Structure 1
Amino acid sequence: MKTYYLAFLALLVLSSCGNPPKQTTETTQPANKLDGTWHLISSKSIAKGDTSVTTPPKDQEMFKMFNATNFAFFTHDLVHGKTAKPVYSSGAGTYTLSGDDYTEHLAYCDARDWENKDFKFKLTIKNDTLVQKGIEKIEGLNVDHEIIETYVKVK
């Protein structure tokens, strides 16, 4: 009988020696509305009262990508560079967003004179459409125009 009680006691002790249940501290945060990839569908540049439509031609496309703190963009031709004037342009950096106030710090760009510049815009997002509007101004490069870019989120 003693053996029975000893075996029962040993089983009880062993079963209580397992790892304590893990406590999870992971919390899910709401996804940033900007997160993801956006396809440029229209753009305009307004300089000295003159508006030009600057949407990439039908043989080019532009995408812009966002994560929580960074953005990147690129434009390329759709014929894989097999044209007299191949097109590829890109840039990336960090951004801040407070309400509809959006500021980009362009850290990297194939147009090297644009690097390490800050640009302030207003952003509006409605459903799957993002509109970025603001002034691009760079002293010394004669860059001083307003841009209005419209993107659709890539699903």
Structure 2
Amino acid sequence: MKITQLLFLGCATVFLSCSRQTEDSSTKIKGSWQLLSATTNDKGKLTVTDFTKDQRMIKIINDTHFSFLRHNLSAQAVAAERFDAGGGRYNVKGDEYTEFLDFFKDKNWEGKTFVFKVHFDGDTLIQTGVEKVPEAGVDRIITEKYLRIKGE
């Protein structure tokens, strides 16, 4: 009887450890992220911005909302370009991450929805999507690379 119980317990342990589900995007995306770079494709013109020099931007994603903060570190930056912030609701379905920008310094961007494809490479979040804001003259593809901020 004890051998049967031990065998059952051993099989159950192996089954549970093998059937453990991998973390999906909706779980992996939560946390604090530092933007490393952004590549925009604006009608075929590629622009790469390095966010590790003269500026810092972080994105914070919790269970229901995201927010971002960008601080220009350059002493030469004019006041209007020194700080940006925004945020809102989001949802994730598979590899599709959708942001609903409820708050932003530039009112042209508020109320817009942005859909991205996301994937993870270790502690790096890579998101690609279309930024379309006719009121601001923006219609481009953007790819952003974020590094998870340690200590979470």
The whole-number CA distance in structure 1 between the counterparts of 2:98 and 2:68 is 15
Report whether the alignment pairs 1:67 with 2:62. yes
Change (3 A) 1:58 1:145: same
Aligned-pair CA distance for 1:135: 0.3
The structure with the larger Rg is: 1
The whole-number CA distance in structure 1 between the counterparts of 2:27 and 2:86 is 21
Which residue identity lines up with residue 53 of structure 1 in the other structure? Answer: V
Aligned-pair CA distance for 1:57: 6.2
Aligned-pair CA distance for 1:91: 0.5
RMSD: 1.8
Aligned-pair CA distance for 1:84: 4.7
Could you state the TM-score of these two structures normalised by the residue count of structure 1? 0.74
The whole-number CA distance in structure 2 between the counterparts of 1:109 and 1:65 is 15
Comparing 57-66 and 100-109, the one that deviates more: 57-66
Show the counterpart of 1:108.
103
Over residues 41-100 of structure 1, what are the superposed CA-to-partner deviations in whole Å (9 max), with x where a residue is unaligned?
111110111101123361111100100111000110236xx5452410010001010010
Which residue identity lines up with residue 121 of structure 1 in the other structure? Answer: F
Show the counterpart of 1:85.
78
SS in 1 for 2:114: strand
Q: How many residues align?
A: 124
The one of 41, 47, 53 aligned to 1:46? 41
More helix by share: 2
Which residue identity lines up with residue 51 of structure 2 in the other structure? Answer: P
The one of 130, 133, 141 aligned to 1:146? 141
SS in 1 for 2:27: coil
Check the 8 A contact 2:108/2:135 in 1, yes or no.
Answer: no
Could you state the TM-score of these two structures normalised by the residue count of structure 2? 0.75
Over residues 116-137 of structure 1, what are the superposed CA-to-partner deviations in whole Å (9 max), with x where a residue is unaligned?
1101110111220000101001
Show the counterpart of 2:90.
95
